[in-house]
Each structure stands twice: as structure tokens, then as C-alpha cells.
Amino acid sequence: GTASIIWSGWVLLFTVRYLYCMMLMKKYYLCAFMFSLILISLVGVVSSRTFVKDSCTSAANVAECFVTKVDNMLKNQGVAPTLAYINDVILTESGHAVVHSALHLVGEYAYSEERDLSATFAFVEPYAKKYVESRDHLNGFDGFYHGAITAFFYLNKEKNVNDLIAKVCEQNLTLLGKVTSDPFECYHSVGHALLYFKDNKPEDALVICDQQSDERKKRGCYYGVFMEHASLYAPAYHPYSPKDSVLGDSTAGLCLLQKGIRAELCAHFVGQSHLAMKPNDVQGAFAECKKVSEYYEECMQRIESMFVTYLFRGDYKKMVQTCDFAEPQFKERCVEAIDYGLSM
């Protein structure tokens, strides 16, 4: 811990200076003794800074392993230690895509315990503020808000849904560490919540999105519904909730039923939904993108920027090789999507 590092550092500084003095005085037996103290100090510093890789990093399904571990931590240790673990371990080892999924669960749990949105958001604000200036997605910590608002809606099912939306998005609650004039992100959170609120029936949730008062609100809401639906393809995600709408190898079938902006936003998550079900099948994810051919590029870019960058973390060559699965005319854009994902 921090105290160990500080103590070891002071001991190291003192012993180096003392050793230098003893050498000048030719007291070599004292030099040997002090040198041994230096070694002990170095062991303290190194051991306190050495990070042992988490066992989930070598699991067949990394995301599912981490989500399961987070679920257990929440039950046994609570919200604050779990957030620290996600920030220090999952973010370091697997990146923001996995963090986002895990934080949905944490947000749901936190609101279920607190039953107050402001108190719930307070748990994550130190992390949100840390990332809000440089990263729009908050290194995945926006997932906490999505989960908290989902629980808020679900635990208030007896209330009017428009009143719930107004409570979240029209009363200046501090979301993502700041109050924003752009409603997209708040309504994106609402979209996640609406699907769960409507027992994972996409059309029932999308109808409510249709009723929102301007295009940015509608767009954010649609985006959240389709993202949440894609997550349902992961067996570990909301395992006890209805999944009648989880059909085929991806959300492509749902997307082909949509028109206009709905169809475009739905297509973003087709490859993602396939990877949620089959986490290492990048080739299969590209094949699913072909089913929404009009928006193939959007589907492909999300696979590469959000998922290939963590599936092959640290191996850029393997990341680029996945672009061989892309349609020839999109290979250059595929590599650009990887580079963008790595810069996030």
C-alpha cells in the first residue's frame, strides 16, 4: 500500500546516504550491514508495486469472469471496494469495454441499496470526474449510471414512466461528473433502463423513445435500448430476466425490422451482440455485420474499436489481422477503427 511505499522509500534514502558516509570512513563491515538494509527496502518497494495478474485475464471468457467476480465482491464487500477493484484491476488489465459491463451491475446494486439517485451517483463521482475531461465514455464508468438508472426505473415500476424520465433527465442531477446541456447521454441511460423496465421487449421500449420531444433525446434513447439488447446475448448478463427477444446469433434480425435512424443505431451493436454470446468469434461477428449491409461500416467499427482492442490487448499485429475478416473496401477503415479504439 501507499504507507509501505513511503516507509520503504525513506529507509532507502537514509541507508544510501549512510552507506556513502561509511565508505568514505572505510568502515566496510558497516557498509555490508547497511547494504543488506537497502536490499530489504528494495524488496518492500517492489513488492508493494508489483501487480499480480488477475486470474480472469487468462479465462476463456474474460468479460464473463470479471462480471462474475464483481457480482461476488458486491455481495461480500459492497460498492466502494468493488469500484476500486474495477478501476485498479479490470481497467488496467482489460480496458473500458469490460469495465462498462461490470459497472452496469455495480450501478444496479448501489441504487438497490441506497434507493436515492444522488447518493448512488456519489459513489462513482470521484472516478467520473477523473476521466470526464479527457474521455467521453469515462473509461467505462458511464456504465455505472446506466445500471443505477435501470434499477431506479425497475424499482419504481408502479410510477408513470414519463415522470421517471423527467426525474432523471430534467432535474439537473449531476450525471457523469457534470451537468451537460446535451441530452443524448442521459437519454442513452434511459434507453437502457426502459428495456429492462419493459421486461426486455425492445419494441415496447422503443415506442417510449419515439414519444420524446426532440431528435437528440430520441437518438440517445434508441441507442441505449439497442445497446442493452445486445448485452442480453451474454449469458451472465441479467441471467434471470426474460430473454425471449434474444434470437439467432446476433441482433441482426431485430435491426432488419427497423427503419431510418432506428435501423442505423441498431446496426452498431450487431457484431457486439454476437461477441457477447461467442466472445472470441471475431470472424463470426463480421459475418453478422454483413446481414445489416447498409450499415456494415458502423457495425465493423464498433467491433474493432471496442472489442478487438481488448480481446488482443497488447498485440497490435493480431488486432490488425482481424481486419482480414472485413470486406475488402473497408480494410483501411478497419485499421483506423483499431487505432481510434486504442486512443480512447
- C-alpha pair distances (Å), 83 with each of 48, 89, 109, 141, 325: 20, 10, 12, 9, 36
Cell numbers that stand for 245 in this block: 427477444
Question: Cα–Cα distance between 339 and 216 in angstroms, integer?
Answer: 28
Of residues 83, 86, 137, the one with CA closest to residue 110: 83
| 203-249 per-position pLDDT tens digit | 999 999 999 989 999 999 999 999 999 999 999 898 889 999 999 99
Helix, strand, coil % (nearest 5) of the chain? 75, 0, 25
pLDDT at 219: 96
Amino acid at 310: Y
The yes-or-no verdict on residue 176 having pLDDT over 70 is no
Rounded to whole angstroms, how far apart are CA atoms 104 and 154?
14
Q: Which CB contacts under 8 angstroms, 24+ apart, belong to 278-286?
A: 278/249, 279/60, 279/61, 279/62, 279/63, 279/64, 279/311, 280/60, 280/311, 282/307, 282/308, 282/311, 282/322, 282/325, 283/325, 284/249, 285/250, 286/325, 286/326
What is the average pLDDT across 174-183?
62
- Residue-wise pLDDT for 8-35, tens only, equals 454 445 555 555 555 555 555 555 555 5
